[in-house]
A = this chain, B = another copy of it.
């Protein structure tokens, strides 16, 4: 029943990197949007998968012992639980994340 204005969230974020805002709660999952710029830190989520969708810009997800995943606007990737990863974006990107409501995406919150 609720239309979600992502552009409004983007205005609120105002290019402050790595500070996700909650966009919607869907059952027990949260949709978040964040501005990715520079490099985050290496971390993993012990029990939870995380889905990334590129709303704007492009990012690279570094994955421990695997090739980098390059994602452009409109592309998505799933990082399975317990997989160590570190996202980065040279030019900046707005990214939607789908993850359990308990995850905070502040880094190594195992």
Contacts and interface: CB of A to CB of B under 8 A. Distances in A.
Interface secondary structure of A, over-half rule: strand
B26 A49 contact: yes
- The number of times this chain is found in the oligomer is 2
Task: Place the interface of chain A in its size category.
Answer: 35 or more
Contact of A1 (B3, B24, B29, B63): B63
A27 B80 CA distance: 9
Contacts of A49: 25-27
B3 A26 contact: no
B76 A26 contact: no
Given A78-B1, A79-B1, A26 B26 contact: no
Given A6-B74, A55-B74, A98-B31, A26 B50 contact: yes
Given A1-B63, A1-B66, A69-B1, A78 B24 contact: yes
Contacts of A75: 3-6
